[in-house]
Homo-oligomer: A and B are copies of this chain.
Amino acid sequence: MAAKKKTAKKKVAKKKTTARKKVAAKKTAKKKTRVVKEKPKNAFYAQSGGVTAVINASAAGVIETARKHKNKIGTVYAGRNGIIGALLEDLIDTSKESVATIKALRHTPSGAFGSCRFKLKSLEENRREYERLIEVFKAHNIGYFFYNGGGDSADTCYKISQLSKEMGFPIQAIHVPKTVDNDLPITDNCPGFGSVAKYVAVSTREASFDVGSMAKTSTKVFIVEVMGRHAGWIAAAGGLASTDDTPIPIVILFPEVEFNQEKFLAEVKKKVEKFGYCSVVVSEGVHWPDGRFLAETGLKDAFGHSQLGGAATVISGMIQSELGLKNHWAVADYLQRAARHIASKTDVDMAYAMGKAAVEFAIKGHNSVMPTVDRISNKPFKWKVGMAPLSKVANVEKMMPENFITKDGFGITKACRTYMEPLIKGEDYPPYKNGMPQYVRIKGVSVPKKLKGKFEL
């Protein structure tokens, strides 16, 4: 860019020598001014909150689509470590990333640009942060704000679009849905959920086969703890491990259902008596009637370290001491949401489509919206991209419908299965080299800062 300006100056100098040239120079200058005026706005993209196996697929959708519309969108700048990258004016120039790198984002788990857990306060509480964002966007000629996250970031996105108008630097803010928690409203599901659901369903099936073959003389119960502090979407996916052609005795513990130790142990006992073994899928959010999480043991070990025992260890201890049944337990934690190697193809496709649609919406002039997955039919499974106004997305949490949990509180209904099965369908394996998946890392070239003074988070 600097080189071009120099050339322009030289040209202008030469042209000053004759009247005819002067006119020409004027015309050129005018033309140039016009070009500058029409120079397309840049875009800002950031990843927010807990990452998923497919959030980078959305990033690829955003960047690849923007690259196809260079007349409308200049450069996509990504926030380093999410929205704090914008606050700190720490921007990554995605135009420095190769075509191959951006393509490889589609099969790379985690947040390639860095994510963050940083919730902007309300406008009233901290207007300074919002103003800073718009100041940074203005400095870098950013007219598009693509925010890839869950409920909180939808809210931030909404506020940006409102405030930027007020501040006279209108920014088109589009939210790109992402969350393993599957709790955004309007959209059929949230990209990220399908893959974690597939991981949980596959892992539960595999471990159930394992415990089933050991049960005669050894382990009779297998317990796996999965994510989902507030909603049982992920735990429900454990139920998909059992199908008509491969039935498996599974007890699911949902955060939606108050934990009843007696009833639970009776259910485990019944299943072990009938099938010889059983599996338990327990959500990290399962709690006692008084609201305490099962996982909160409040214990310290001999060295004074807090015992961060999960719900699985509590369930395990209970089954051992009350039923005397040998059991094994696993806690999937990050493994479940990072497991790109077993991602759902449907989920990857949706994640990419959401990123792509976000850019297309922006180009069409939409603002303050979020692309959604709209389900058309279940059999065959068909869906299309829809659009939701952020005003209806922000601060609305979608809970699991009551009719997705069986009456006894330990299983999933047919309705739940009908909803969930298409979301785990299809495999989309990453490429491998020497037995290892080839995940990409970005170069992450910084955009030179334009603002003076430091911003304190």
Binding site for B on A (CB under 8 A): 47, 50-51, 53, 81-82, 84, 108-118, 198, 201-203, 205-207, 209-214, 216-218, 222, 224, 240-241, 243, 246, 261, 297-310, 312-314, 316-318, 320-322, 328-335, 337-342, 344, 346, 421, 424-427, 429, 432, 434-439, 441
Contact = CB atoms under 8 A, between A and B. Distances in A.
A237 B346 CA distance: 31
A209 to B, nearest CB: 4
- Which of A214, A304, A328, A342 lies at the interface centre, i.e. has the most chain B CB atoms within 10 A of its CB? A214
Contacts of A298: 302
A224 B335 contact: yes
A392 to B, nearest CB: 28
A301 B301 CA distance: 12
A233 to B, nearest CB: 16
Contact of A317 (B307, B340, B424, B437): B307
Given A216-B116, A217-B118, A210 B338 contact: yes
A203 B335 contact: yes
A286 to B, nearest CB: 14
A333 B334 contact: no
A199 to B, nearest CB: 9
A114 B277 CA distance: 12
A190 to B, nearest CB: 17
Nearest to A211: B334
Nearest to A326: B117
A84 to B, nearest CB: 7
Given A317-B308, A436-B202, A214 B330 contact: no
24 contacts: A50-B214, A82-B217, A113-B213, A115-B213, A117-B217, A198-B435, A203-B338, A205-B436, A205-B439, A206-B437, A209-B338, A224-B335, A240-B436, A246-B436, A303-B317, A305-B317, A305-B321, A307-B309, A308-B320, A308-B329, A310-B313, A335-B335, A421-B434, A427-B429
Contacts of A337: 210
Nearest to A339: B206
B201 A436 contact: yes
- Which of A108, A111, A309, A425 lies at the interface centre, i.e. has the most chain B CB atoms within 10 A of its CB? A309
A228 to B, nearest CB: 15
A308 B303 contact: no
Contacts of A424: 434-436
A440 to B, nearest CB: 9
A375 B115 CA distance: 44
Q: Which 10 A-B pairs have the closest CB atoms?
A: A305-B317, A110-B209, A111-B213, A424-B435, A330-B333, A206-B338, A81-B216, A210-B338, A425-B435, A116-B217
Given A201-B436, A320-B308, A210 B334 contact: yes
B305 A309 contact: no
B317 A328 contact: no
B441 A432 contact: no
A201 B320 CA distance: 31
Contacts of A202: 341, 436-437
Contacts of A344: 435
Contacts of A335: 203, 206-207, 224, 330, 332, 335
Contacts of A307: 297, 299, 307, 309, 313, 317
A248 to B, nearest CB: 10
A340 B331 CA distance: 18
Contacts of A429: 427, 429
Contact of A81 (B47, B112, B217): B217
Contact of A114 (B50, B206, B216): B216
A110 B301 contact: no
